[in-house]
């Protein structure tokens, strides 16, 4: 199995480090919990400059890794007994580094798995130093390029209210920067979902989760869940907070939301398979309106346009997630095409 993975990754990352230098920042989340080996077979992985392994959590005793690999990083959907193995992670890092791409471990996630400890407890002063030390040890052990903090919503706010979010970010950033590694964040752009301003100076990159603004339970009924206007507003918000555009990455979804008679979750591959390739030129299946049945998503033209916006501002782009692309990698190709155009136009 390991030899097969090595061959596959060698094909996917067939790009030289020299070619990787001027690609900007193109982050792709790899949803290990959906099956890491399956995720790594997605076409187009060579176009990313950074792969974020989603998700890694410490155990209740603050352990991050054991002899077998990561202690709480489910690698098979629906099976919490199968974790990202030592061999899987070493192969991923080696091949990514061979093409000039970074590998980041993303911490937390919207739903903490059963093997994970309570972050609100682990980040208290009496346990924080142990957790930071264990995280840095894992970065050293696997030659990771850093960590991404994706603590969200009520959990993040509870940690911050207790005064423990920014001290954790500060301590982890200090250890990483001493090792020439980076610390990134994934954040919403709404009250209760934004990382605290006090933590911003410690992050090397802020990933803006500019999606999921959908109706009828959130946002205007029938509204597109990740519109161009939302992307523009979200990036503008963070620039006004004083974050340089070069330290921002605009999040773009490779998935859609279904309403009415349609099921909730749809990948771009699902949409192309069920409704035909031409549907990827639109942003909706059906008619968007309150009470209607429809699927709202970003089609290829919208992804290209949003990536061009990010590139023109010299920001990066961030994809959730690589395995939801069309089988031939058309979505990431559309993103890269727009991104390069935006960056090129900005130089003129």
- Listed as ranges, residues in the chain with pLDDT below 50 are 1-18, 20
- Burial tier of 314 (Cβ tally within 10 Å: 0-12, 13-18, 19+): middle
pLDDT of residue 342: 97
Within a domain: 264:
no
Its pTM surpasses 0.95: no
Residue-level pLDDT at 213: 82
3-state secondary structure at position 267 = strand
* Domain assignment present for 286: no
- Exposure b/e, 186-200, CB count within 10 A at least 16 = b: bbbbeeeebbeeebb
Distance CA 189, CA 217 (A): 18
pLDDT value of residue 102: 98
- Tell me, what's the pLDDT at 261? 96
Q: Please check whether residue 317 lies inside any domain of the structure.
A: yes
Q: Tell me the CATH number at 85.
A: 3.20.20.80
Confidence (pLDDT) at 3: 40
pLDDT for 214 equals 81
pLDDT for the residue numbered 21: 52
Structure tokens at 79: 């099976």
Q: Are 289 and 223 in contact (CB under 8 A)?
A: no
With H, G, I as helix, E, B as strand and everything else as coil, classify residue 286.
strand
What are 288-345's pLDDT values in tens digits? Answer: 988 899 999 999 999 999 999 999 999 999 999 999 999 999 999 999 999 999 999 8
CA neighbor of 226 nearest in space, from 302, 315, 114, 311: 302
Q: What is the pLDDT of residue 95?
A: 82
Residue 314's domain spans which residues?
A: 2-255+301-347
Does 120 map to a domain? yes
Question: What local confidence, expressed as pLDDT, does residue 223 receive?
Answer: 82
The structural domain count of the chain equals: 1
Distance CA 115, CA 74 (A): 9
Per the rule left: phi > 0, alpha: psi between -120 and 50, beta: everything else, 145 is alpha
Whether residue 323 lies inside any domain: the answer is yes
At 131, list the tokens: 């957790």
Is residue 103 assigned to a domain?
yes
- Does residue 262 lie in a domain region? no
Both tokens of residue 52? 């974020």
pLDDT at 348: 73
| Cα separation, 134 vs 152, whole angstroms | 22
Residue 283 counted as domain residue = no
């Amino acid at each position: 199995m390991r030899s097969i993975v090595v061959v596959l990754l060698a094909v996917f990352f067939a790009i030289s480090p020299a070619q990787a230098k001027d690609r900007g920042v193109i982050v792709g989340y790899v949803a290990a919990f959906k099956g890491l080996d399956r995720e790594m077979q997605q076409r187009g992985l060579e176009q990313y400059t950074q792969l974020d392994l989603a998700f890694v959590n410490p155990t209740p005793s603050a352990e991050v890794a054991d002899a077998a690999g990561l202690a709480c990083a489910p690698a098979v959907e629906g099976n919490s007994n199968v974790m990202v193995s030592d061999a899987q992670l070493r192969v991923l890092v080696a091949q990514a580094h061979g093409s000039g791409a970074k590998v980041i471990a993303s911490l937390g996630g919207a739903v903490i798995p059963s093997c994970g400890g309570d972050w609100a407890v682990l980040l208290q002063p009496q346990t924080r130093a142990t957790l930071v030390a264990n995280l840095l040890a894992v970065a050293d052990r696997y030659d990771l390029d850093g960590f991404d903090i994706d603590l969200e919503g009520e959990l993040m706010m509870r940690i911050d209210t207790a005064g423990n979010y920014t001290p954790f970010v500060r301590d982890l950033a200090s250890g990483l920067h001493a090792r020439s590694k980076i610390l990134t964040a994934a954040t919403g752009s709404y009250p209760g979902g934004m990382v605290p301003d006090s933590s911003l100076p410690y992050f090397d990159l802020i990933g803006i989760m500019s999606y999921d603004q959908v109706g009828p339970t959130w946002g205007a009924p029938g509204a597109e869940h990740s519109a161009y206007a939302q992307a523009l507003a979200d990036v503008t918000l963070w620039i006004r907070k004083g974050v340089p555009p070069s330290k921002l990455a605009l999040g773009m979804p490779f998935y859609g939301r279904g309403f009415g008679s349609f099921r909730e979750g749809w990948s771009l591959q699902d949409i192309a398979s069920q409704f035909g390739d031409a549907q990827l030129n639109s942003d909706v299946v059906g008619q968007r309106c309150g009470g209607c049945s429809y699927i709202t998503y970003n089609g290829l033209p919208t992804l290209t346009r949003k990536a061009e916006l990010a590139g023109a501002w010299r920001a990066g782009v961030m994809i959730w997630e690589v395995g939801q692309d069309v089988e031939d990698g058309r979505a990431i190709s559309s993103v890269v095409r727009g991104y390069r155009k935006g960056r090129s136009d900005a130089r003129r």
